[in-house]
Amino acid sequence: MKENTVPPQYKRHIFVCTSCKNDNFCENDDYAKELRSELKAKCKELFSKDLLRVNASGCLGVCNEGIHIVVYPEAKWFKLASKESISDIINYLNSNS
Ligand code: FES
């Protein structure tokens, strides 16, 4: 395997689960994708795209607790329960930048 020695220098990388594997809990893939798009648009508006990236991820393994995001490098998890949660996440990003 060849290492990429010049990776992008994001200060933060956010992963949003958008692909539930558990039919009993998360039939919310479309809503997760909608929330991810909205979070991504808000982040694009407020932060440099060179410093922060928002990606869709597969299942994060906590489907029974709802849609989640993980913010790296701090590995902080948040429940993305609704569009209102996006402003809480933005506040977190602003107050911890
Ligand atoms: S889809 Fe499984 S944790 Fe979100």
Q: How far does residue 63's CA lie from ligand 1's centre (Å)?
A: 4
The best mutation among 15, 20, 25, 69 to test binding of ligand 1, ranked by most ligand atoms within 8 Å of the C-beta, falls on 20
pLDDT single digits (tens) 7-66: 888 999 999 998 876 655 555 678 888 999 999 999 999 999 889 999 999 889 888 888
Q: How far does residue 13's CA lie from ligand 1's centre (Å)?
A: 18
Tokens of 76: 């902080």
pLDDT single digits (tens) 37-51: 999 999 999 999 889
Instruction: Using alpha carbons, select from 76, 5, 71 the residue that is nearest to residue 39.
Output: 71
Domain boundaries of the chain, sorted by first residue: 12-87
> Distance between CA atoms of 36 and 40, rounded to whole angstroms?
6
Sign of the CA dihedral running 42, 91, 10, 37: negative
Q: How far does residue 6's CA lie from ligand 1's centre (Å)?
A: 31
Does the domain at residues 12-87 carry the CATH identifier 3.40.30.10?
A: yes
